[in-house]
C-alpha cells in the first residue's frame, strides 16, 4: 500500500512537472518536484523505503522529460545515501533536516545531470549551468520542500491504536 501511494504520487508529480510547472519559474528555474518528493519520502519514511521509491520516482521523471532515460534515476540515487543525515539527528526538526538534504541533493543532482548531458554530447557550458541552473535550483527546491513535505508527513502519520487513544483521553 505504501509503495502504491508513493508510485502514484511520483507519477502525479512527474506529470505535473512537465505540464504545469514549466510555467512556474522562480529565479529563472522550475522546482524539481520529483527530487523534492524523493528527499521528503526518504526523510519521513527512511532509507529502506527510499531505496525503492527514489529509483521509481526517477524513472517516472525520466519517462516524462527529454533527457536521456536513466539520468534522473542516476542523479537521484545519492539521496538514499544522504539518509545518513536523517540518522545523525544533528537538528531536532525533521523539516530543517529535509531542507538541508534537499539543498545537498539538488547540488548533487545538478552535477550528475550536467555530467550525463556532457557525456552524451548535449551539455552546455558548466559555469553557466552552475550559476544559472544549479545554484538557483538549490534555493527554489528548498522553498518548495514544505509544499511536498506536509502531505508526505500527513500521509505517513501512523494513527494511535484505539486503546492508546482511549488511555490518553481517560483520566483516573
- Comparing 67 with 72, which gets the higher pLDDT? 72
**Coil, helix or strand at residue 53:** helix
- What are 26's strand-pairing partners? 29
Is the pLDDT at 90 greater than 90? The verdict is no
Integer Cα distance of 36 and 143 in angstroms = 10
pTM across the whole model? 0.89
Mean residue pLDDT across the chain: 90
- The pLDDT-based confidence of 122 (bands split at 50, 70, 90) is confident
| pLDDT of the residue at 49 | 94
What residues contact 3, with CB distance under 8 A and at least 6 apart? 49, 52, 53, 56
- Check residue 158 and give its pLDDT: 66
Model pLDDT, residue 61? 97
Given this model, what pLDDT does residue 172 score? 40
Extract the C-alpha cell encoding 144. 518548495
**Which CATH architecture does the domain made up of 2-156 adopt?**
Orthogonal Bundle (1.10)
Amino acid at each position: 500500500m505504501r509503495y502504491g501511494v508513493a508510485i502514484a504520487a511520483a507519477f502525479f508529480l512527474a506529470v505535473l512537472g512537465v505540464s504545469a510547472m514549466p510555467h512556474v519559474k522562480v529565479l529563472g528555474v522550475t522546482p524539481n518536484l520529483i527530487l523534492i518528493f524523493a528527499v521528503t519520502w526518504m526523510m519521513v519514511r527512511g532509507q529502506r523505503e527510499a531505496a525503492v521509491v527514489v529509483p521509481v520516482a526517477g524513472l517516472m521523471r525520466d519517462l516524462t522529460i527529454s533527457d536521456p532515460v536513466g539520468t534522473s534515476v542516476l542523479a537521484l540515487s545519492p539521496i538514499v545515501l544522504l539518509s545518513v543525515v536523517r540518522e545523525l539527528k544533528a537538528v531536532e526538526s525533521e523539516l530543517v533536516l529535509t531542507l538541508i538534504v534537499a539543498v545537498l541533493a539538488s547540488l548533487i543532482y545538478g552535477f550528475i545531470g550536467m555530467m550525463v548531458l556532457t557525456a552524451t554530447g548535449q551539455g552546455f557550458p558548466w559555469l553557466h549551468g552552475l550559476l544559472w541552473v544549479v545554484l538557483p535550483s538549490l534555493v527554489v527546491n528548498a522553498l518548495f520542500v514544505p509544499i511536498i513535505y506536509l502531505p508526505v508527513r500527513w500521509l505517513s502519520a501512523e494513527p494511535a491504536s484505539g486503546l492508546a487513544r482511549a488511555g490518553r483521553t481517560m483520566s483516573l
